[in-house]
Structure 1
């Protein structure tokens, strides 16, 4: 289980990010599952930044899993980072221990440089904006913002995750 952050207790994928919502309930270094509607509340009570992060997360899970929702927006507002979701957000630090149980995304190259040795990362075959750790289900991406992680790059990321998850299913 992750030491800090929020989301599903057994996520299929985890977003490792340098910051957390600037709300009192997130000032602690613990992990918890969000309640339905809590993502919408975070968006409403913080900056547009968290709407972008949560929207990109919702697009990823909506593309990869049967969410039972009609749109990624509905998924974001009802199931993202809850016990009914597929993901978690970790804001303390990236750790390889336990990471074999889920796919990791480290968001932002500046943050990744504090967590990983970037010289050992491998560039994705079609873009230098996606870096991966050889032999691990971990990828470094631009920060989760539409200008940095545009739809074309997001589609490539989803493709990498889908291929990895398919490979892991076949290997087991």
Structure 2
């Protein structure tokens, strides 16, 4: 299993997925263990081409999630006019304040250090040892009782639809929600 991340190590929005895209196809090798690789213009497009539609969906859903936050939210990017432009020009790059972590991470420790931490997929949360530590609101969404850690469906259009993205945003914002 690959254990590295794209983006910034002190990102405010951190997403965790189990498997990494085929980074070797783009750079000839995977980033080193527990390292954070800041992407540059064109990397997301290239990773989507190398990894297929599934990786395009992950990047799209990540950008759409950020643009679902209210305009006044500190989590909403103000550097781009649309989620598509943000995805292509900023997501997981140096100044984007985002990270996408692959493999096994100590999410609780990272949660204590700040930022929002979103585990994409119930199975991944279980493998990370967090599923039983969180309060489940339904079969798809959970929140850690004391840390800014959230569990949601995998970042795919069918699993994390626009309506479910809104549920996740409300959960992060601490809004009372019906799920």
Q: TM-score range by the shorter chain?
A: 0.7 to 0.9
Q: TM-score, normalised by structure 1?
A: 0.84
Shift of 1:58: 0.5
Counterparts of 1:146 and 1:66, CA distance in 2: 21
Q: Deviations over 1:58-90 (max 9, x none)?
A: 012223323321110111011000012121011
Shift of 1:142: 1.1
Residue 133 of structure 2: aligned partner:
120
Structure 1 or 2: more helix by fraction? 1
* Superposition map of 1:82-93 within 5 A: 82-93=93-104
Q: Deviations over 1:112-140 (max 9, x none)?
A: 1110242332123xx43101110110011
Correspondent of 1:27 among 27, 30, 34: 30
1:151 is the counterpart of 2:178: no
Aligned-CA RMSD value:
1.9
Q: Secondary structure at the match of 1:163?
A: coil
Kept after mapping to 2: 8 A contact 1:81/1:89: yes
Q: Secondary structure at the match of 1:97?
A: helix
Kept after mapping to 2: 8 A contact 1:61/1:86: no
Counterparts of 1:122 and 1:17, CA distance in 2: 20
Off by >3 Å, runs of 4+ in structure 1: none
Kept after mapping to 2: 8 A contact 1:8/1:81: yes
Cα 1:119/1:8, change in 2 over 3 Å: closer
**Unpaired runs of at least 5, structure 2:** 70-75
Shift of 1:94: 3.0
Q: Secondary structure at the match of 1:128?
A: coil
Q: Secondary structure at the match of 1:88?
A: strand
* Superposition map of 1:1-172 within 5 A: 4-24=4-24, 25=27, 27-28=30-31, 29=33, 30-64=35-69, 65-95=76-106, 96-100=108-112, 101-124=114-137, 127-163=138-174
How many residue pairs match? The answer is 160
Counterparts of 2:173 and 2:147, CA distance in 1: 14
